[in-house]
Amino acid sequence: MTDLMTGPRIDDLAVWPASAAPLPHNGLAVGGVDLAEVAERFGTPVYVLDEGEVRQRCRAYRDAFPEADVLYAAKAFLSRAMVRWVREEGLGLDVCSAGELELAVLAGFPPARIVLHGNAKSPYDLGTALRLGVGRIVIDSPSEIARIAAAVGPDGQQKVLVRVVPGVAAGGHDKVRTGTDGQKFGLSLTDGSALRAVAAVLGQPRLVPAGLHCHIGSQITDVEPYVTALRRMVGLMARIRDVHGVVLPELDLGGGHGIAYRPGEPALDVPALARTLRGELAASCAVAGLPVPRLAIEPGRAVVGPAGVAVYRVLAVKHTGGAVFVAVDGGMSDNPRPALYGVRYAPRLVGRSSTAAPRTATVVGRHCEAGDVLAAEVELPGDVRPGDLIAVPVAGAYHLSMASAYNLVGRPPLVAVHEGAARLLLRRETLADLRHRDIGG
């Protein structure tokens, strides 16, 4: 419910950072900072990231998984500040490219606590990982085994994990379901590819088989798929012991932990996940006669997603065919997720009181695509008008990290808020930045 005179009710802020607090005249503060003041100071569109929320979510994972390695998935969002927060809160890091890896190490993250992923790692990716001393490399295809071994050199060794496809279908959209055969990631459990890859790793003295890895999908809100994957992975570990006489010491179950984007939506219960996996791992290993391996998980979205807010300014309001379109000064260039996955958000008007009755509207972007929709069929005040501010919660993950310069619109800035102070982390990408890349003529 919303009181259009005073602003959002407290129970409407369930998907916002814990620090979110109503202000007079429909204002809203995050991290003790008025979002309207952020928009005025830094312009719009602008991303706001609550440092306290990020840190609290890191600690919640550490508390739930004290005996496991919690690796923040950098693909969700990465910056120098994010690297520092994750490091200071005791998490490891999961990266997918030399770019993410180099940024993390330059920002002071210990490379031994980093895992490198990727279904198609370039020679530069692998060379950078070996040069910097990355802790683990996840093998995703048979061809990587010899390539990594050759790149290690005659006197070196590299710990590796073999990524297994356990045959588990899970995730919020078919484009993010990565645990089944027929997609680009990993090595199949069912056709024997995973077992053959482990045998090939064992045949390379420069590679140290540290364990197995799987990632079954993204935006998963149920514990059961993880339990199924765990049991199948332990079964494969027992098979490896029986065939090769090797007991692998590590099991990485990936991430994909789901969050709520709108009030009332489900989210993965992380403490319940931890309790269940801990019990299932001990039980499965006991049945198989295996020692319990060290567990690793890779949350990304669940750490940073709910800590972010996108703030836009309304440019136009159009009534056509019975529909209301509210066009803002951003769009799919700073958030392609609705176009890619049909993601639904719960935006709200901030910074201005309204006595108008709510009306169903669709918030759209400024780009030349019919699919440039940021939030379809949402409730906004009926008098929403150009110049208003629209804030979108749960905008911390896969927004800026997937942003582009479509239509030569620069990417928005990122502002951190914490204890009443705002500071710029990433500046706005300007037209000058874009022109400097164009060296032809």
In DSSP notation, 213-281 reads E----SSB--SHHHHHHHHHHHHHHHHHHHHH-----EEE----B---SSTT-----HHHHHHHHHHHH
% of the chain residues with pLDDT over 90:
88
Tokens of 178: 């990565």
pLDDT of residue 173: 45
User: Pseudo-torsion of CA 402, 404, 406, 410, nearest 10°?
Assistant: 130
Lowest average pLDDT, out of 147-161, 169-183, 246-260, 415-429, goes to: 169-183
Q: Is the pLDDT reported for residue 303 higher than 50?
A: yes
Tell me the C-alpha distance between 119 and 141, whole Å: 7
Helices 98-106, 80-88: crossing angle, 10 deg rounding: 70
Question: Is pLDDT of 102 > 70?
Answer: yes
Segment 11-40 shows an average pLDDT of 94
Rounded Cα–Cα distance for residues 282 and 270 (Å): 18
pLDDT at 61 over 70: yes
DSSP string, 301-316: HHHHGGGEEEEEEEEE
Q: Given a cut of 90, is residue 182 above it in pLDDT?
A: no
pLDDT at 330: 97
Question: What domains can be seen in the chain, in order of their start residue?
Answer: 2-50+306-437 (2.40.37.10), 51-305 (3.20.20.10)
Looking at residue 174, what is its pLDDT?
53
What confidence score (pLDDT) does residue 11 get?
A: 52
Alpha-carbon dihedral sign for residues 314, 357, 25, 7: negative
Q: What is the mean pLDDT of residues 42-71?
A: 98
Q: What is the band of 237 on the pLDDT scale with cuts at 50, 70, 90?
A: very high
Distance CA 387, CA 314 (A): 5
In angstroms, the CA 209 to CA 375 distance is 46
Query: What pLDDT, on the 0 to 100 scale, is given for residue 334?
Result: 96
CB within 8 Å of 247: residues ≥ 6 apart: 237, 241, 290, 291
CB 219 within 8 A of CB 172: yes
pLDDT at 417: 98
Q: Residue 240 pLDDT more than 50?
A: yes
Active site residues: 368
Residue 365: its pLDDT value, please? 96
Mean pLDDT calculated for residue range 24-51: 97
Structure confidence at residue 100 (pLDDT): 98
The C-alpha angle 400, 403, 407, rounded to 5 degrees, equals 140
Mean pLDDT score of the chain: 93
pLDDT at residue 342 in the model: 87
- Statement: residue 180 has pLDDT above 60: no
Q: Return the pLDDT at 441.
A: 77
Give the tens place of pLDDT for each residue, 366-380. Answer: 999 989 999 999 999
- pLDDT exceeds 70 at position 425: yes
Q: What is the pLDDT of residues 199-221, one digit of tens each?
A: 999 999 999 999 999 999 889 99
Confidence of residue 96 (pLDDT cuts 50, 70, 90): very high
Which runs of consecutive H residues, i.e. helices, occur in 26-90? 35-42, 51-64, 80-88
Rounded CA separation 413/415 (Å): 7
Phi, psi of 228 (to 5 degrees): -60, -45
Strands 389-393 and 348-350 turn out to be: antiparallel
Contacts 24+ apart (CB under 8 A), 127-136: 127/98, 127/151, 128/98, 128/101, 128/102, 129/98, 129/101, 130/156, 130/158, 132/101, 132/102, 132/105, 134/101, 135/92, 135/111, 135/159, 136/160, 136/161, 136/210
Q: Please compute the mean of the pLDDT values over residues 302-331 and round it to a whole number.
A: 96
Residues 6+ apart with CB under 8 A from 248: 209, 210, 211, 212, 237, 240, 293
Range with lowest mean pLDDT among 116-120, 177-181, 228-232, 251-255? 177-181
Q: Which of 193, 164, 194 is nearest to 180 (CA)?
A: 164
User: Looking up tokens 């995973």, which residue turns up?
Assistant: 194
The model's confidence at residue 179, banded by pLDDT at 50, 70 and 90, is very low
